[in-house]
Amino acid sequence: MATRLFFSSGDLIADRRFEFARDLQLKGDLVAAADLLTQAIELAPQFTSAWFTLGKIRDELGQRDEAIVAFRQACSADPEDRHGASLCLMRLGAVPLSAMPQAYVQSLFDQYAPRFEAALLGGLGYRGPALLFKAVLAVRLAASKPAFFKRAIDLGCGTGLAAAAFAKQVDHFIGIDLSPGMIEQARATGLYAGLEVDDMVQGLRGKPDAVAELILAADAVIYVADLAPVVGEAARVLVAGGVLAFTVETHGGEGVRLGEGLRYAHSAAYVRASVEAAGLKLAHCEEASVRNEANVPVRSLVVVATKG
């Protein structure tokens, strides 16, 4: 999911140098691109997009220390960090792993929203909602319970692909997503009784205890480092017998990592511990792949947890 965010410096000449630098970068002339970006930054020292792009180029050139300097400058020029420079610092080991900047997620998905489904379903072979659907049905069948849910909450609902997969199984869907652009697309589906622009943990915190039979998060907690708050809140909001189903990207090691694509990957042991710490029972945890990246299946887990 390539992001080409650009925020004008307010200086026409600096902006032009940035555009030339981007052309050079795309043509593979990284050294010349870095030179032009440095010139743009001399004209506009708070030029976030130039600092960020310079950081990427320095990193590609193997100049780790210089890349760190540039990413730090991008963070200080834009404290909201819409480019996600702090994530690049995490990847470089310059700062400890921490939460994703909300403004980064919003900017990323707002610009992505109109072409999200075509890119995911076409280019990346996205199958997260279908895998969740199959897993939830299997868990309900094994428990001899009907796979019908009166009230469901779709965390990180995006354009509504998970609600579409579960549409015949759910009476009343609420969608929560950080990105207004994605929520707009979800609204157009007519699948949701309610939609909220909010962080998923905050959105759950605003709900009373025991109000949902099903909570879904399809390909969404890959943007959440610490699963404890979201799984804990989901456990509170579920009714007894309720179901939490989500996908994560995973890896063979321990704990949580930030991958090259700037998404978190959670180990199976970490997922199990998060579910159990919230008082839920892990009913299903299956290795699968929710989508491809560069034509290679991304290693993922499909997780279903039940309450009581």
For the CB of residue 74, give the shortest distance to ligand SAM in the complex, in Å. Answer: 21
State how far the Cα of 247 lies from the Cα of 130, in Å rounded to an integer: 11
| HSE (side-chain half, CA atoms, 13 Å) at 181 | 14
Q: Which is nearer to ligand SAM, 78 or 196 (CB)?
A: 196
State how far the Cα of 144 lies from the Cα of 147, in Å rounded to an integer: 9
Q: Which is nearer to ligand SAM, 37 or 161 (CB)?
A: 161
Selected range binding ligand SAM among 23-31, 53-61, 215-223, 280-288, rule: CB under 6 A:
215-223
Selected range binding ligand SAM among 13-21, 66-74, 218-226, 265-273, rule: CB under 6 A:
218-226
DSSP state of 279: T
Q: Which is nearer to ligand SAM, 157 or 305 (CB)?
A: 157
For the CB of residue 15, give the shortest distance to ligand SAM in the complex, in Å. Answer: 28
With CB under 6 A as the contact rule, the residue among 50, 224, 234, 237 that binds ligand SAM is 224
DSSP state of 121: I
* β-strands 281-288, 300-306 pairing: antiparallel
Q: Is 249 in the site for ligand SAM (CB under 6 A)?
A: no
State how far the Cα of 266 lies from the Cα of 83, in Å rounded to an integer: 23
Burial per residue of 128-143, b for 16 or more beta-carbon CB atoms within 10 angstroms, e otherwise: bbebbbbbbeebbeee
Helix axes 268-277, 228-237, angle to 10 degrees: 40
Q: Which is nearer to ligand SAM, 84 or 158 (CB)?
A: 158
Triad 14, 18, 20: Cα angle to 5°: 115
With CB under 6 A as the contact rule, the residue among 78, 199, 213, 249 that binds ligand SAM is 199
With CB under 6 A as the contact rule, the residue among 34, 85, 153, 162 that binds ligand SAM is 162
Give the contact letters, 141-160, x = binds to ligand SAM (CB under 6 A), - = no. Answer: ---------------xxx--
- Rule CB under 6 A: which of 79-138 touch ligand SAM? 105, 109, 128-129
For the CB of residue 302, give the shortest distance to ligand SAM in the complex, in Å. Answer: 12
Within 8 A by CB and 6+ apart from 203, the residues are 153, 155, 176, 196
Q: Which is nearer to ligand SAM, 70 or 178 (CB)?
A: 178
State how far the Cα of 173 lies from the Cα of 236, in Å rounded to an integer: 18
What single string gives the DSSP state of each residue in 122-145?
Answer: IIS---HHHHHHHHHHHHHHHTT-
Q: Which is nearer to ligand SAM, 22 or 266 (CB)?
A: 266
Give the residue nearest to ligand SAM (CB): 158
- Rule CB under 6 A: which of 164-193 touch ligand SAM? 176-179, 182
For the CB of residue 60, give the shortest distance to ligand SAM in the complex, in Å. Answer: 25
With CB under 6 A as the contact rule, the residue among 34, 36, 77, 161 that binds ligand SAM is 161
Chain centroid, CA 148 distance in Å: 28
Residues binding ligand SAM (CB under 6 A): 105, 109, 128-129, 156-158, 161-162, 176-179, 182, 199-200, 218-220, 223-224
